[in-house]
Amino acid sequence: MSFASAEVLRRIPHRPPFLFVDEIVSEAPDCLVARRSWRKEEDFYGGHYPGAPITPGVLLCEAVFQAGALYLAGAAAGDAPKGVPLLVKISNVRFRNPVYPGDTVAIEVRRKETVGGFYIMAGTMKRGDTRILAVEFSVAWRNPEAPR
Q: Write out pLDDT tens, residues 40-75.
A: 999 999 999 999 999 999 999 999 999 999 999 988
Does the annotation count 14 as an active-site position? no
Residue 49: cis peptide before it, omega within 30 degrees of 0? yes
State the Cα–Cα distance between residues 37 and 98, nearest whole angstrom. Answer: 14
Are 11 and 23 in contact by the 8 Å Cβ rule? The answer is no
pLDDT for the residue numbered 1: 47
Amino acid at 147: P
Which residue of the set 35, 48, 110, 131 is catalytic?
48
List beta partners, residue 126: 106, 131
Residue-wise pLDDT for 12-49, tens only, equals: 989 999 999 999 999 999 999 999 999 999 999 999 99
Name the pTM for this structure: 0.93
CA atoms within 13 A on the CB side of 99: 28
Whether 55 contacts 104, CB under 8 Å: no
Q: Domains along the chain?
A: 6-142 (3.10.129.10)
